Amino acid sequence: MKETLPLGRIAGVRVGLNWSVLVIVALVTVTLAEGRFPEAHPGHPAPAYWSLALLAAVVFLASLLAHELAHAVVARRNGVEIDGITLWMLGGVARLQSEARTPRAELRIAGVGPLTSAVVGGLFTVLALWLDSLHASGLVVEAIAWLAGINVVLAVFNALPAAPLDGGRLLRAFLWHRTGDRLRATRGAAAAGRALGWFMILTGFAAMVLADDVSGLWPALIGWFLIATATAEERQAELRGILDDIPVSRVMTRDTVTVPADAVLTSFLAEGPFGHYRHSAFPVLAPDGSAAGLVTVRLVNRVPVHTRSTTTIGDVMRPLSEVTTAGPADLVVDLLPRLEASPDHRALVLEDGRLLGIVSLADITRALSWLTGTTGPRI
């Protein structure tokens, strides 16, 4: 899930919002302002309902963020790097750059999410009871009670033993511990996820058809998401089984065509695509021969034509700090998720700052074709 609005970093983790967050904010706000609040506490002016409903929706998003941040913090403590967190219409996604190395680490990373939501729900419950004992505004108490309930529901739903929910990862950790086979454990959790997804789709459509309840569309939508994501996770695990223990040095492209940082764009464009530069992305070298960044034809094309004769590659390249990099001994399975999340889908292979090669998704796909075609999946 790609972010469309970056929010900066929290606890060292990059956080962003997807545009679909607007859907859940609007849905929660309308449901509370037009339904629950006026039904439970009639007589208040409409602006009071709408402002409190909007505030509740924002606090709900904050609780989702707390859930995902808990995953991120515990993952880092267990040696798993986090690429970032994105909030979207159906919740939040913490993008892990690699997987847990042991079932125990998987258990800790997965379990902290529902636990966090349960704790948040408990805190809101205590707050609602305390405010009610002080005879605070019933409308405010109602909003806090709703936040308490939705966080408890979030904790319970995420604890269901079905991928890609946190409970599915708990199930995978258990199966992994019992069998010693992570791929087999992933398949079991994915099968449970698909079963839950189909159950939600069938019950959702049954509610719409038999009870004429349009709200049944939401469980059907969530069920479809569970099926698609569980299946994707299973395929990803199978790919990891095929690529297991294969270092980046075996799939990277060596002797890559490089571009000096001080090259002028007009000279660079004059030599491609039929001359020296026949690709669409090139490592950029500093004057001392070390890697400086990565330039793509897309980045060059953003420069106005009339300024290309005075603009250098170094002016438009993606600096090394923003480029995905790897060492020759790094495993392809650990690089793959970072490569998929990178804007250029390429990684520079470096050793002590010296460029050894470049890896693209096409390189990994080519390696997969050979491995599956000549030896079959190594699982």
Paired residues of 312 in beta bridges: 264
**Cα distance between residue 367 and residue 339, in whole Å:** 15
CA dist., res. 188 & res. 168, Å (int): 9
Judge whether 68 counts as a catalytic residue: yes
Given phi > 0 = left and psi -120 to 50 = alpha, else beta, which region is 18?
beta
* DSSP secondary structure letter of residue 214: G
Q: How far is CA 327 from CA 236, 324, 349, 352, in A?
A: 22, 11, 5, 9
Q: Are 176 and 88 in contact (CB under 8 A)?
A: no
Which residue is catalytic, options 3, 34, 39, 68? 68
Cα–Cα distance for residue pair 188/192, rounded to 1 Å: 6
User: What is the separation of C-alpha 124 from the centre of its chain, rounded to a whole number of angstroms?
Assistant: 28
| DSSP helix/strand/coil, 237 | helix
Residues tagged active-site: 68
